[in-house]
Amino acid sequence: MRAAIAIDVESGTPIHRQIYEAWRRGILSGRFRKGDRVPSSRELALALRVSRSTVTQAYEQLFAEGYLETEQGSGTFVSGELQQHALQPATNAKTKATVRSVHLSKFGTGLVRDFIYPPQPADHICFSRWSPDIERFPLGTWRKLLARHMRTPNRKLLDYAREAQGYEPLRREIAGYVARSRAVECTPEQVLILNGSQQALELCARVLCDPGDTIGFENPGYLGTRRIFDAHGVKLAPASVDAQGIVVGEIAPQARAVYVTPSHQFPTGVSMSLARRLELIAWARTQRTVIIEDDYDSEYRYSGPPLPSLQGLAGDVPVVYCGTFSKVMFPGLRIGYAILPEALVAPFRRAKWICDRSTPALDQAALADFIADGHLERHIRRMRRLYGQRRAALIDALRQHFGERIEVIGEAAGMHVAVRTSETQLGERAQERKVQIVSTRDYYFGKPRRDEYILGFSGLSERSIREGVKRLAGVA
């Protein structure tokens, strides 16, 4: 008897698996049809010259999965349960590419392109990042704190979180930290632990706004947040930023919420003045608008103490205060938080549960210790000193090589410097000279400025910074 199927003894795949696959594919493709008799295990073993137990192993799986059935006394058959019309050619990974196009939601359709970081060639000096210098993060301390929770584990940390709001000791530490450093007024019950400020802002979009609603937005403003509201179908109503911050008179009166970066406006680097803060709060009170305070870069201020947060000044005006550990620890940690007015705690917590239930608890426990043991504030102090020196080197080099042709705008704060220049095509020339700087062009709604750039300094050594500015000026 000729075997209905072929096997390859040289192939790496076990013989019983090959037999199983051959019948399975044969049945699914319609080559073998329901009711077809299949050889007995003895017959097939003879035909293929393999042991009977090998065939039996394959057949058992085919029986178990419902491909074959036996009829008492008359043999083995392709199962009559399988509806012939349901069978179609089986495919492999390659033909998967032909999956027909799928209907997407408005949200799914609106996600137009990936957020791509520009390539950073090794021989370029890149002022195009404003990320923390992760080489300086005390990773050994972090490892020990994590290990502590895994060595004598609180098994609750490994289980589903009882609730989505976050690990209580961490919420307590964060409430203390933002009170000390940012004059935020809150209880631990108002703190919601999230995956970075990205998730905090995404929840703001979803919980506060319906598609078609309007949000007040700084112009120029942070693209990352803009994409979140865009994706959600929220209309962005731009309001200019002047030397004191967002121009309150320009905020759309119908805005559900207004998004601001008061500590160090992105990209201009402006700190919102106290007068402007109070004006914004008074306006929000009248308009019944929520303030979304993205307190980005608040930790790094190099001259004088930072202004207290809007949240701490706002009284009865609802402020969602968003913070993150990405900039003061490392971005891959993915832990941030929102400080919520009490009326918003439950809806935000429930939304977090819907989205992904909770943020990983072991990391939360280690972070609670990292703050409680003073490591966080110590690390921030150290980095403030380091970044302050790097910023000073950048400003100094710019003065030396460009003089009046480059004006630094914004506060002595954060991880980047915003500049305006009288040089035309500084950006294009930078590229030729193997330096990367970023135009603020993409951050504007409507007509952008052509003379404005941002230079990130936090990840570069003073030496690289000086060398980069020299190259930029064409003197290196």
186 or 469: whose CB is closer to its own copies?
Answer: 186
Q: Write the binding mask 15 to 54 for its own copies: x where contact by CB under 8 A, - elsewhere.
A: -------------x--------------------------
239 or 320: whose CB is closer to its own copies?
Answer: 320
161 or 435: whose CB is closer to its own copies?
Answer: 161
Q: Write the binding mask 404 to 423 for its own copies: x where contact by CB under 8 A, - elsewhere.
A: --------------------
CB of 451 to its own copies, least distance (A): 29
- By CB under 8 A, the residues from 130 to 149 that bind its own copies are 131, 134-135, 137, 139-140, 142-143, 146-147
What is the Rg, in whole angstroms, of the alpha carbon atoms belonging to the chain?
Answer: 31
Residue 139: name the closest of 329, 318, 405, 306 by CA: 329
> Does residue 361 interact with its own copies by CB under 8 A?
yes
- By CB under 8 A, the residues from 87 to 116 that bind its own copies are 87-93, 95-109, 111-116
- Binds its own copies by CB under 8 A, chosen from 121, 159, 374, 403: 159
Part in contact with its own copies (CB under 8 A); list of ranges 180-188, 259-267, 402-410, 441-449? 180-188
Q: How far apart are CA 318 and CA 340, in angstroms?
A: 8
1 or 343: whose CB is closer to its own copies?
Answer: 343
Per residue, the 3-state secondary structure of the chain, as one string, reads: CCCCCCCCCCCCCCHHHHHHHHHHHHHHCCCCCCCCEECCHHHHHHHHCCCHHHHHHHHHHHHHHCCEEEECCCEEEECCCCCHHHCCCCCCHHHHHHCCCCCCCHHHHHCCCCCCCCCCCCCCEECCCCCCCHHHCCHHHHHHHHHHHHHCCCHHHHCCCCCCCCCHHHHHHHHHHHHHHHCCCCCHHHEEEECHHHHHHHHHHHHHCCCCCEEEEEECCCHHHHHHHHHCCCEEEEEEEECCEECHHHCCCCCCEEEECCCCCCCCCCCCCHHHHHHHHHHHHHHCCEEEEECCCCCCECCCCCCCCHHHHCCCCCEEEEEECCCCCCHHHCCEEEECCHHHHHHHHHHHHHHHCCCCHHHHHHHHHHHHCCHHHHHHHHHHHHHHHHHHHHHHHHHHHHHHHEEEECCCECCEEEEEECCCCHHHHHHHCCEECEECHHHCCCCCCCCEEEEECCCCCHHHHHHHHHHHHCCC
> Does residue 360 interact with its own copies by CB under 8 A?
yes
- Binds its own copies by CB under 8 A, chosen from 32, 166, 185, 453: 185
- Contact 437/229 with Cβ under 8 angstroms? no
> Does residue 1 interact with its own copies by CB under 8 A?
no
- By CB under 8 A, the residues from 60 to 79 that bind its own copies are 60-61, 64-67, 79
> Does residue 122 interact with its own copies by CB under 8 A?
no
Number of residues that bind its own copies (CB under 8 A): 129
> Does residue 193 interact with its own copies by CB under 8 A?
no
> Does residue 158 interact with its own copies by CB under 8 A?
yes
- Binds its own copies by CB under 8 A, chosen from 15, 164, 178, 383: 164
> Does residue 287 interact with its own copies by CB under 8 A?
no
12 or 332: whose CB is closer to its own copies?
Answer: 332
Q: How far apart are CA 377 and CA 383, in angstroms?
A: 10
CB of 412 to its own copies, least distance (A): 12
Residue 69, phi then psi, degrees to nearest 5: -145, 155
> Does residue 123 interact with its own copies by CB under 8 A?
no
69 or 462: whose CB is closer to its own copies?
Answer: 69
> Does residue 246 interact with its own copies by CB under 8 A?
no
CB of 162 to its own copies, least distance (A): 6
> Does residue 118 interact with its own copies by CB under 8 A?
no
> Does residue 346 interact with its own copies by CB under 8 A?
yes
- By CB under 8 A, the residues from 296 to 315 that bind its own copies are 304-305, 307-308, 313, 315
Residue 409: name the closest of 218, 243, 175, 254 by CA: 243
37 or 357: whose CB is closer to its own copies?
Answer: 357
CB of 375 to its own copies, least distance (A): 15
> Does residue 223 interact with its own copies by CB under 8 A?
no
- By CB under 8 A, the residues from 252 to 281 that bind its own copies are 256, 273-275, 278-279, 281
